[in-house]
């Protein structure tokens, strides 16, 4: 948590002024019981209306000054807390975006969302309360006791007895509550995960008529979270009644001893009132302090969770060097490549050996789960190989600058991802300074110019979140256009035409084959028709190569490819 305090840098004035003005407010508040005591002992006792009005005026002035100080302190505290949380959230988001998929897999998306929203909000609240109350409440408690001793030291012994007892109750409840709040935040991760999964997969849930089961599952997790919060709430709720009982008993003792002292002439009625008033101030401030400590504890727990994300090293290990590309080397080569995901018992892909020349089209085909997308992820260096190496121009992928490497690659993922905004804004993801002519050319190549030109606004047509105002095929063609506008050296189509009809798929492949800059193209598909015209077809089964060659070669000597082909075409077309 201490490391996160760096985000308060730039708010030094606010972090000093907020507690300073709160301390001023506390000092003015400590004088009010003495003013009231003077009004009782002098103004009321002597029936001096002028003194009473003067004393009331002093109280109003102290109240107004205290109010101004409190508002000023709140302004500085809120400015520092919101500024710190905004910087923290921005830095956390930036850090998460720089993590590799394997690193994000360690925590999971739901936990990351919770830490960037709920946890950061708790940190903001903790900072705000700390700046306003951390110094004020102890000052009021200690100041009230000191002022009580200046009024009457013998009566003030009640304060010396009750404050340690109150502290035991307050801090005891706090120490028991801390672990519960940590569990509550962890349970909130689970509820967030359930919510996210059901919102993302709502169509699947409905298709399999699983609404009731998912509602029950969510309700069960929610009930567990509710039970934990109720347990923590009940425990925290004990604080007020217990402290009130102790304080009221202390007030009874104070009034009893004070009455004897008044009767004996050692103190006045006004001074007894001041003692009772100071005791009430201690009660209020101890409860505030207890709630503050609980809030700080929750903020610290959340801060540690956020810091745990920052502690994950950014991106993949890099070994960038100035080594020149090897001459006469294949453009891309896979040398006995294998990958084992973290926590997996066996490699997902292994023994991948393949040399690819610049401008070639490579088809990758295989059953679901055979490792097709994994091979592509390794090429983009979303994951690092656990065995072997991948080279571009004879230079190991790990020796390339990651950002520069990915600038040379354009990918169309399995799931067509569009962002809320306009068609233009989505295409600019591929090339920031693309002209309208370049956009329309990319749309034409992706067979998407027809339906975009029919939309109101054309390039400025609205795109809803996830592209939900487009069909599956339209979304795929827009993501292909976004990739083509970059004019990449390496174009990856990862099962990106699954929603297209055969005619559109064929026309699209024809357009890509005719590109004047001749990119090296990887086509990942379960359709034999999508890869049959590729220069090289890589057939995968259970993460291993079971066939490598052209369509004509594989149709003669690769049983797996023949099985896939025959399942999609009649024997007459073989």
Which pLDDT band, with edges at 50, 70 and 90, does 316 fall under?
Answer: low
Is residue 423 within 8 A of residue 461, CB to CB? The reply is: yes
Mean pLDDT of 13-39: 88
What is the pLDDT at residue 350? Answer: 92
Half-sphere exposure of 97 (CA within 13 A, CB side): 7
* pLDDT 10s digits, 450-478: 999 998 889 999 999 888 889 989 999 99
Strand partners, 392: 332, 395
pLDDT at 102 > cutoff 80: no
Is residue 62 within 8 A of residue 24, CB to CB? The reply is: no
Which pLDDT band, with edges at 50, 70 and 90, does 444 fall under?
Answer: very high
What is the pLDDT at residue 572? Answer: 41
User: What is the token pair recorded at 319?
Assistant: 């070994």
For the chain, the first-to-last Cα distance in angstroms comes to 66
Which residue, 146, 134, 32, is CA-closest to 80?
134
What mean pLDDT, rounded, does the chain reach?
Answer: 85
Domains, the chain: 11-310 (1.20.1560.10), 332-573 (3.40.50.300)
Over the Cα atoms of the chain, what is R_g? Answer: 35
pLDDT at 16 > cutoff 50: yes
Under 8 Å CB-to-CB from 564, ≥6 apart: which residues? 365, 366, 367, 526, 528, 539
* pLDDT 10s digits, 225-235: 888 888 888 88
SS (H, E, C) 28-63: HHHHHHHHHHHHHHHHHCCCCHHHHHHHHHHHHHHH
pLDDT at 26 > cutoff 60: yes
* pLDDT 10s digits, 49-85: 888 899 899 989 988 998 999 999 999 999 999 999 9
Angle at 161 between CA 158 and CA 162, to 5 degrees: 85
Mean pLDDT of 485-510: 88
Which pLDDT band, with edges at 50, 70 and 90, does 567 fall under?
Answer: confident
Residue with more model confidence, 170 or 561: 561
Mean pLDDT of 277-282: 82
Element (H, E) at 537: strand 536-541
Say if pTM beats, i.e. exceeds, 0.85.
no
Query: Mutual orientation of helices 136-151 and 269-310 as an angle, nearest 10°?
Result: 160
SS (H, E, C) 269-323: HHHHHHHHHHHHHHHHHHHHHHHHHHHHHHHHHHHHHHHHHHCCCCCCCCCCCCC
Is residue 170 within 8 A of residue 239, CB to CB? The reply is: yes
What is the pLDDT at residue 266? Answer: 83
Q: What are phi and psi of 525, to 5 degrees?
A: -160, 160
Percent of the chain with pLDDT over 70: 97
What is the pLDDT at residue 440? Answer: 94
**CA–CA dist 119, 89 (Å, integer):** 10
């Amino acid at each position: 948590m201490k490391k996160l305090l760096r985000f308060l840098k730039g708010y030094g004035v606010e972090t000093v002024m907020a507690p300073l003005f709160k301390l001023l407010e506390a000092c003015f508040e400590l004088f009010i019981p003495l003013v009231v005591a003077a009004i009782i002992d002098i103004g009321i006792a002597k029936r001096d209306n002028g003194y009473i009005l003067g004393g009331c005026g002093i109280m109003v002035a102290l109240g107004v000054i205290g109010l101004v100080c409190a508002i000023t302190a709140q302004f500085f505290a809120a400015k520092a807390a919101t500024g710190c949380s905004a910087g923290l959230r921005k830095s956390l988001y930036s850090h998460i975006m720089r993590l590799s998929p394997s690193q994000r897999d360690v925590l999971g998306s739901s936990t990351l969302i919770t830490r960037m929203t709920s946890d950061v909000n708790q940190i903001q609240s903790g900072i705000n309360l700390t700046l306003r109350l951390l110094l004020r409440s102890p000052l009021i408690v200690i100041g009230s006791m000191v002022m009580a001793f200046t009024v009457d030291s013998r009566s003030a012994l009640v304060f010396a007895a009750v404050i340690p007892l109150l502290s035991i109750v307050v801090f005891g409840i706090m120490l028991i509550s801390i672990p519960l709040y940590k569990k509550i935040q962890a349970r909130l991760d689970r509820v967030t995960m359930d919510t996210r999964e059901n919102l993302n997969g709502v169509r699947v849930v409905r298709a399999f008529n699983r609404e009731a089961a998912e509602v029950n599952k969510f309700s069960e997790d929610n009930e567990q979270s509710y039970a934990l919060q109720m347990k923590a709430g009940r425990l925290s709720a004990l604080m007020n009644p217990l402290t009130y009982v102790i304080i009221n008993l202390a007030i009874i003792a104070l009034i009893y001893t004070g009455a004897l002292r008044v009767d004996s002439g050692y103190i006045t009625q006004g001074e007894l009132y001041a003692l009772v008033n100071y005791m009430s101030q201690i009660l209020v401030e101890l409860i505030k302090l207890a709630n503050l400590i609980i809030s700080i504890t929750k903020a610290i727990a959340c801060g540690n969770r956020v810091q745990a994300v920052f502690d994950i090293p950014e991106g993949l290990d890099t070994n960038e060097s100035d080594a020149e590309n090897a001459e006469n080397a294949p453009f891309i080569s896979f040398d006995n490549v294998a990958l084992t995901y973290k926590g997996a018992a066996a490699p997902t892909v292994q023994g991948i050996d393949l040399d690819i020349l610049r401008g070639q089209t490579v088809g990758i085909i295989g059953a679901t789960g055979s490792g097709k997308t994994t091979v592509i992820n390794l090429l983009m260096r979303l994951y690092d190989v656990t065995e072997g190496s991948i080279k571009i121009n004879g230079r190991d992928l790990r020796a390339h600058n990651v950002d520069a490497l990915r600038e040379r690659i354009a990918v169309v993922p399995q799931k067509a991802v569009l962002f809320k905004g306009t068609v233009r804004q989505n295409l600019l993801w591929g090339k920031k300074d693309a002209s309208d002519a370049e956009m329309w050319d990319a749309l034409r190549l992706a067979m998407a110019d027809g339906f975009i030109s029919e939309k109101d606004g054309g390039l400025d047509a609205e795109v809803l979140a996830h592209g939900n105002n487009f069909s599956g095929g339209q979304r795929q063609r827009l993501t292909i256009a976004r990739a083509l506008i970059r004019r990449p050296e390496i174009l990856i189509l990862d099962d990106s035409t699954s929603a297209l009809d055969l005619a559109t798929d064929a026309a699209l492949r024809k357009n890509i084959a005719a590109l004047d800059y001749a990119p090296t193209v990887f086509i990942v598909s379960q359709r034999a028709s999508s890869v049959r015209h590729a220069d090289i077809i890589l057939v995968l089964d259970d993460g291993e190569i079971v066939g490598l060659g052209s369509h004509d070669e594989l149709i003669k000597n690769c049983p797996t490819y023949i099985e896939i082909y025959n399942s999609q075409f009649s024997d007459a077309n073989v």
